[in-house]
Chains A and B, each alone.
Chain A
Amino acid sequence: MPYRARFGRKMECVSLPPLSNFAICGGTHGNELTGVYILREMQKHNVEKVGSVSITTVLSNPRAVDACRRYTDRDLNRCFTDDLLSSPITESTPYELRRAQELNAHLGPKGSEEAVDLLCDMHNTTSNMGLCIIFNSADWLILHICKYLQSKITSMPVRALQMDLPLSEAFSVDSLGKHGFSFEIGPQPHGVLRADVFNTMKEAVDLTIEWLQQFNSGRTFEGGEVEAYTRWKTVHYPRDPTTDEITAAIHPQLQDNDFKLLQPGDPIFLSLSGETVKHEGDALYPVFVNECAYYEQKIAYHLTQKSTLTLPSINVKKD
């Protein structure tokens, strides 16, 4: 659903269909433990329906969870583009590609009327990002959920991060739902379960379900403004030109400073031999600073722009 920020003009209330089914996924990366344990608890307590909302819990990548690894053959959370979802399955198809197509059949098909109304995927990051709600395109519903969570959660900062890809190119599991987003909470080492992170993720999931119930029962959620960060560019580690090995670490002044404005001249890398590399170009906001899983592609962090999005009031469409 496209949006346009409108200034100085009250937007009309928008009515949307009810959201009766909600899928919650965890273990999309098998070593991001919070989601795995949240799912276990929900399944132990047979959480299937809360008021008007049917809930489906899905362990996305059981093999990776068993091995406590990010993935077995390839990253499951990059397997949901239209092309990959329609590629033929053969004997040699990697496990995660098959699994993506299974999940598409179960929770999708992506882009269709049968797809689950809302899909939330739970992740962790080694970066100091607090609670980040990551979505592809900024639809009113997801932005209202962001606004609701921001007003209720006090244990850590809550921020919205937008990817902005065309649906066909959207590659993550949450793109299967009619509406979809991920919760990304850090810092937490992969393979570790921190109680404070678990409690915040649980609160975020419970609040999302609470929001859905209130929405379905007719409450109007007042419009307003939400700040969102939009991915702008990717910054790679400095590398040795012959061996391609990384030659610097994130500078101590950038480490743990996700979402803190990076100005030209600010230090970004400290080389192994002690030289400082500085940021050049526009002042932007770094995210995913020193995320473990990104070393594979030699990605140090992403840079984002911040913008303020104006939301209309929304309520459920009555028949």
Chain B
Amino acid sequence: MSSYSSSARFDEARRVAIFGGTHGNEMSGVTLVNLWVKNGSEIQRKMVDTKPFITNPRAVEKCTRYVDTDLNRAFTPENLSALGEGDLPYEVQRAQEINRIFGPKGSPEAYDVIFDLHNTTSNMGCTLILESSKDYFNLQMMNYIKVTALRSYFCCVNIVLCDWFIAGLEVGPQPQGVLRSNIFEAMRVILKHALDFIELFNEGRTGVEFPTCTVEVFRVLERIDYPRDANGNIIAMVHPNLQDGDWEPLNPGDPMFLTFDGKTLHYQGSGTIYPTFINEAAYYEKQQAFVTTRRETLVASAIRKA
């Protein structure tokens, strides 16, 4: 039990951004943001300024992940301070522009909350990505979303903890370039709950706080690449037993890859892990067949409005 005085205090979340099209072929976010740019009534909340924004319009136009370089990896300090303007890769220019409008990150001018909408070809369902276990505001928000989504829609939401992923919302499975109605609606529901949380938090009536809670997360351990030959070519595929098995336990000895001539390669780790991002299309070039995670319970400190 927490006492009122020991809750972590946060300022109101006044300005919220919803990003779609960071990858131009991940259609749920593109479609939602375009819809809300035209008519934003659904995303309006009391005392919150919500801005829907297409982050990579050229990639969206071409329905491709990126034009020059992955925007979702472009927000490095080097890129954000690079000179050269029109000579810079398109996505670096965009990163600088987005940083100007919505950041700079960590500064008082920065937006309070940013939701970056993504899809994945992996069978991950609804997944929220958390960068830090000490980020109690986001952890409380994710807990609220998870509990509400399960109660109202029987929709299961998983939380992934990783400091080398970019925070955001991933919903899958959905092929790149395709809009699936169920995936679209799931993302819409998640955002509804997220905005409801922010509104409730901002209301901050005396005595109302989000009490301390425990939250089950999956902490990312490592990337596993495909087996490759000396020339870097893939020599095996994700095994049918592992394919679509995101969040299911993978035990030492379980099938992991299947070579083209039918040989099974087994998971050789020392303990059970929970794989995710299994067979994500965009990660072939990033040398990632899946990532391993372990289950962890985090404690989120109670939070209230400052």
**CB of B175 closer than 8 Å to a CB of A:** yes
User: In this assembly, does A225 line the interface, its C-beta being within 8 Å of a C-beta of chain B?
Assistant: no
Chain A 29-66 interface mask (CB, 8 Å, partner B; 1/0): 00000000100110000000000000000000000000
Task: Please give, as numbers and ranges, the residues of chain A lying within 8 Å of B173 by CB-CB distance.
Answer: 189
Asked if A3 lies at the interface with its beta carbon under 8 angstroms from chain B, I say no
Contact B184–A191 (Cβ < 8 Å): no
| B93 interface residue (CB < 8 Å to A) | no
Contacts of B240 in A (CB 8 A): 195-196, 199
Mark each residue of chain A from 241 to 261: 1 if its CB lies under 8 Å from any CB of chain B, else 0: 000011001111001000000
Please tell me if the beta carbons of A255 and B175 are within 8 angstroms of each other in the complex. no
Contact status A189-B184, CB under 8 Å: no
A272 at the interface (CB under 8 A from B): yes
Q: Which residues of A contact B239 (CB under 8 A)?
A: 195
Q: Which residues of B contact A191 (CB under 8 A)?
A: 121, 176, 281-282, 284
Interface residue? B288 (CB, 8 A): no
Indicate if the CB atoms of B237 and A198 lie closer than 8 Å: yes
B-side contacts of A97, CB under 8 Å: none
Task: Using CB atoms, name the residue of chain A closest to B173.
Answer: A189
B63 touches A (CB below 8 Å):
yes
Residue of A nearest to B257 (CB): A195
A44 to chain B: closest residue by CB: B260
Residues of B within 8 A of A249 (CB): 179-181, 184
**Digit string of B177-191 for contact with A (CB within 8 Å is 1, else 0)?**
111111010000000
A295 & B182 in contact (Cβ 8 Å cutoff): no
Residue B79, interface by CB 8 Å: no
Main secondary structure of the interface of A (DSSP, over half): loop
Cβ A126 vs Cβ B243 within 8 A: no
Contact with A along B155-193 (1 / 0, CB 8 A): 000000000000000000111111111101000000000
229-284 of chain A: CB within 8 A of chain B:
245-246, 249-252, 255, 270, 272
A94→B222 CA distance, assembly (Å): 43
Contact of B180 with A255 in the complex, beta carbons under 8 Å? yes
* Across-interface contacts of B234 in A (CB, < 8 A): 37, 193
At the interface, yes or no: A190 with Cβ under 8 Å from chain B?
A: yes
Closest to A249 in B: B181
User: Is B180's CB under 8 angstroms from A290's CB?
Assistant: yes
- B257 CB → nearest A CB, Å: 8
Interface residues of B in 128-159 (CB under 8 A from A): none
Q: Indicate if the CB atoms of A196 and B175 lie closer than 8 Å.
A: no
Q: Are B181 and A41 in contact (CB under 8 A)?
A: no
- On whether the beta carbons of B237 and A250 are closer than 8 Å, the reply is no
Given A37-B260, A41-B260, A272-B31, answer yes or no on A190-B175 (Cβ-Cβ < 8 Å): yes
Say whether, besides A41-B260, A41-B261, A192-B281, A255 and B176 are in contact (CB < 8 Å). no
19 A–B contacts from the bound complex (CB under 8 Å): A69-B64, A126-B178, A189-B121, A189-B174, A189-B176, A189-B178, A190-B176, A191-B281, A193-B237, A194-B243, A195-B237, A195-B240, A195-B243, A252-B181, A255-B182, A290-B180, A292-B178, A295-B63, A295-B178
Q: Hey, which bits of chain A sit against chain B, CB under 8 A?
A: 37, 40-41, 68-69, 126, 187-196, 198-199, 245-246, 249-252, 255, 270, 272, 290, 292-293, 295
Listed from nearest, the 10 A-B pairs whose CB atoms lie closest are A189-B175, A191-B281, A249-B181, A195-B237, A292-B177, A189-B121, A126-B175, A192-B281, A292-B178, A41-B260
